[in-house]
Amino acid sequence: MDNLIAIADLFKLQENKVLEVKKFGSGNINHTFLVTTNSTTEPHFVLQRLNTKVFHQPELVMNNISTCCNRLRQELQQTPLKDRRWEVPRVLRVKNSDRTYYIDSQSSFWRGISYISNSQSFDTVRDTKHGWEVGYGLGMFHNLIGNLDVTQLADTLPGFHITPNYLQNYQIVLKRAKVNNSSKVDYCLKFISDRAASADILETARERGELKLRPIHGDPKVNNILLDRQTQQAIALIDLDTVKPGLIHYDIGDCLRSACNLLGEETSNWQNVYFDLDLARSILQGYLSVAKFLTSNDYRYLYEAIRLLAFELGLRFFTDYLAGNIYFQVKYPEQNLNRALVQFKLAQSIEVQKGAIKNLIHS
């Protein structure tokens, strides 16, 4: 990896000096840094090394981000929000060029994104007010981007959130893996085989034409929805790498599985993980207060989306554990097994509360 300061220097506004580059955030895929410069107006920006083992066509990822951000800005210009701050990240250009990325001597792919000032993010939701804001944030994003023709976005991650594909891959990996059987591993194996038959419910609905592809965020977990430091209102969605055509159900399910788990994705206390119904209520209320475009078919599949996305992420983590941790970064070898157990416990809690969740959706 080339010198971080020298790379950051390529993305800064010309007259400023880079003072510091330090690790930032808690992503599982890319390497993220916060750059501080001596600018008095905009001292920070975010520098990222994109994981090109995951994103095989990083140029297309950058195109999607630009298309998305341009559309968000256009919509906000046409219909400015009256009572709330809303920010759209900016893709930074490489010095003296029009390019939005830099490839270093080791073929690493670098890009710079503006930092949203006076903002805050949390890994877990603190209370129902925060939950409402998380829902509102996702609803606002879907609302602003909803009219963008999906054909303008490239499919930068084929198979992303297609649960039956993850299942197929899991079966291949399982055949090849040397499985160290333990009670945790056995729990995961059984959890998956018991639910394999219902893995294609959203994809089947899409094939039948009941659900339609729309622009999606792809990763609307709690810490990707920024709050204003003073008002604690949602003001931006960040981490736009997975913006692409998809089902909004992936986003809604992913947001709820992330936000309604108060113990968080990384807890070692996986036995006590549960899906918090009060938070689900406020998130859905926040979402539905802005997202007025849902059809009756959209409503019909919301419960399944919530259940499926928790199951799917557990399946993805468990598969990666079996494959030797090649996709999600880990700090210790069993981390992806632990993460899988957290998501499976969450999915189980969703299943147990099916009636109550459906009541929330249809109330």
Which parts of this chain interact with Mg ion (CB under 5 A)?
A: 219, 239
315 vs 357 by CB, closer to ligand GN1: 315
Beta-bridged to residue 113, according to DSSP, are 46, 91
Q: Does 242 bind ligand GN1 (CB under 6 A)?
A: yes
By Cβ distance, which residue is nearest to Mg ion? 219
Shortest Å, Cβ 48 to ligand GN1: 11
Shortest Å, Cβ 71 to Mg ion: 20
Q: Does 219 bind ligand GN1 (CB under 6 A)?
A: yes
Nearest to 298 by CA among 178, 363, 191, 202: 202
Nearest to 30 by CA among 6, 70, 61, 60: 61
Shortest Å, Cβ 327 to ligand GN1: 7
Of 25-33, 75-83, 189-197, 272-280: span binding ligand GN1 (CB under 6 A): 25-33
Shortest Å, Cβ 82 to ligand GN1: 32
Looking at beta carbons, which pairs linking 26-29 to residues 24 or more positions away fall under 8 Å?
26/123, 26/223, 27/239, 28/328, 28/329, 29/54, 29/241, 29/327, 29/328, 29/329
313 vs 350 by CB, closer to ligand GN1: 313
219 vs 298 by CB, closer to ligand GN1: 219
Shortest Å, Cβ 241 to Mg ion: 6
Nearest to 220 by CA among 309, 318, 129: 309
Shortest Å, Cβ 119 to Mg ion: 17
Q: Are 125 and 273 in contact (CB under 8 A)?
A: no
238 vs 248 by CB, closer to Mg ion: 238
Instruction: Convert residues 297-336 into a mask of x (bound to ligand GN1 by CB under 6 A) and - (unbound).
Output: ----------------x-----------------------
Where are any strands of DSSP class E within 3-114? 18-23, 31-37, 44-50, 102-103, 109-114
Q: Does 28 bind ligand GN1 (CB under 6 A)?
A: yes
Q: With 0-12 CB in 10 A as exposed, 13-18 as middle and 19+ as buried, what is 250?
A: buried
Helices assigned H by DSSP within the chain: 4-11, 58-78, 128-145, 163-176, 183-195, 201-207, 248-259, 277-290, 296-300, 302-323, 335-352, 354-362
Which member of 27, 43, 164, 264 binds ligand GN1 (CB under 6 A)?
Answer: 27
Q: From the list ligand GN1, Mg ion, none, which binds 265 (C-beta under 5 to 8 Å, kind-based)? A: ligand GN1
Q: Whole-angstrom Cα distance, residue 303 to residue 76?
A: 31
Q: Does 29 bind ligand GN1 (CB under 6 A)?
A: yes
91, amino acid identity: V
7 vs 313 by CB, closer to ligand GN1: 313
Shortest Å, Cβ 178 to ligand GN1: 25
Contacts with ligand GN1 in 43-82 (CB under 6 A)?
Answer: 54
> Which positions lie near ligand GN1, rule CB under 6 A?
27-29, 54, 219, 221, 239, 242, 265, 313
